[in-house]
Copies of this chain bind each other. A is one copy, B any other.
Amino acid sequence: VTRVTVLGSGSWGTAFAMIAADAGHPVALWSRRAELATTITIYHENPDYLPGITLPSAIRATADPAEALAEAEIVVIAVPSQILRTTAAAWAAAVPAAAVLVSLMKGIELGTELRMSEVLREVVGPSAHPIAVVSGPNLAREIAERQPAASVVACADPVVSARLQHAIGTSYFRPYTNTDVIGCELGGAVKNVIALAVGMAEGMGFGDNSRATLITRGLAETMRLGVVLGAEPQTLAGLAGLGDLVATCSSPLSRNRTFGENLGRGMTVAEVVAHTRQTAEGVKSCASILALARRHGVDMPITEAVVDVVAGRIAPAEMVASMMGRDVKPERTHV
């Protein structure tokens, strides 16, 4: 039995708290809002993010970070990527010295172009706490329904990832270990941008041929960036790359895909946010991913087009036309 703390009670944070509880651990779940924390603890449900799912009673929620972090051995972090730095700085002193940090977050920080584990490392300092990431084809709602899912737990230290693998594995959630943290985090971040592009094409009425083409070229540009940054191509071809990309681009549960669909139907970013009262990681991270690509001289045409659509510079129709109708060339240079 390991004391697990999950910081962030959105859909993935809450579903991951379920996994940890089902794996036999006591779980403290931190929620920013005291009211939601009370509802989760008393009614065993997170009506805002996983309505209708009964949470295990081993999950206790609180809005007090110090209370959530007391005696934690594994600290799982699932907050929106662009607020990680300030949020983590506020918690850092309360994290027990021996705790392992696990990031579930998928984004690149604006301004610094850092991955989430890099932001965490800057906040907690160079010597403290191993940092791991968990990523894969893991739509939270399906996991909360205890449907079988495979995932990747990545850490530079294989002893840490093996320990986490055994701590959080359940009959329905199977983590595989990997040492390639860069590949896992990049795959997770870029896939949100590709899902926006796929959503736009669907919102405009295009079908599975277009979606499959965007996924194929999206993985190709993810690989180009990844290889330059030191990721393993195998990771990006695996569950945390291709797997996560396909799940996100296929599912009606994906916020990024749905956000893109609304853009494809002609709404502006502001209108989608106003209409759905949700944002999407890809909308936040696309500009920092493009900045990272440009800094390393990597061509990412889909990401570039998504940035232009999000900024209102081009219409989704122009993006899809340029993706599907570029001049005929040998395939190799494109993919």
Interface string of A204-248 (1 = CB under 8 A from B): 001111111101100110010000000000110111001111110
> For the complex, what is the distance from the CA of A206 to the CA of B137, rounded to whole Å?
13
Q: Judging by beta carbons under 8 Å apart, are A331 and B239 in contact?
A: yes
Q: Judging by beta carbons under 8 Å apart, are B174 and A209 in contact?
A: no
> For the complex, what is the distance from the CA of A209 to the CA of B137, rounded to whole Å?
5
Q: Is A148 an interface residue (CB 8 A)?
A: yes
Q: How far is the CB of A99 from chain B (nearest CB, A)?
A: 22
Q: Judging by beta carbons under 8 Å apart, are A250 and B137 in contact?
A: no
Q: How far is the CB of A164 from chain B (nearest CB, A)?
A: 11
Q: Is A176 an interface residue (CB 8 A)?
A: yes
Residues of B within 8 A of A237 (CB): 216, 219-220, 223, 237, 335
> For the complex, what is the distance from the CA of A335 to the CA of B150, rounded to whole Å?
12
Q: How large is the interface on A (under 10, 10 to 19, 20 to 34, 35 or more residues)?
A: 35 or more
Interface string of A105-116 (1 = CB under 8 A from B): 000000000000
The answer to whether residues A209 and B147 also contact, given A238-B331, A330-B176 and a CB cut-off of 8 A, is yes
Residue of B nearest to A210 (CB): B148
Q: Is A103 an interface residue (CB 8 A)?
A: no
Q: Judging by beta carbons under 8 Å apart, are A239 and B210 in contact?
A: no
> For the complex, what is the distance from the CA of A98 to the CA of B242, rounded to whole Å?
43
Interface string of A285-320 (1 = CB under 8 A from B): 000000000000000000000000000000000001
Q: Judging by beta carbons under 8 Å apart, are B176 and A209 in contact?
A: no
Cβ-neighbour of A216 out of B177, B239, B251, B324 (below 8 A): B239
> For the complex, what is the distance from the CA of A208 to the CA of B171, rounded to whole Å?
18
Residues of B within 8 A of A235 (CB): 331
Q: Is A269 an interface residue (CB 8 A)?
A: no
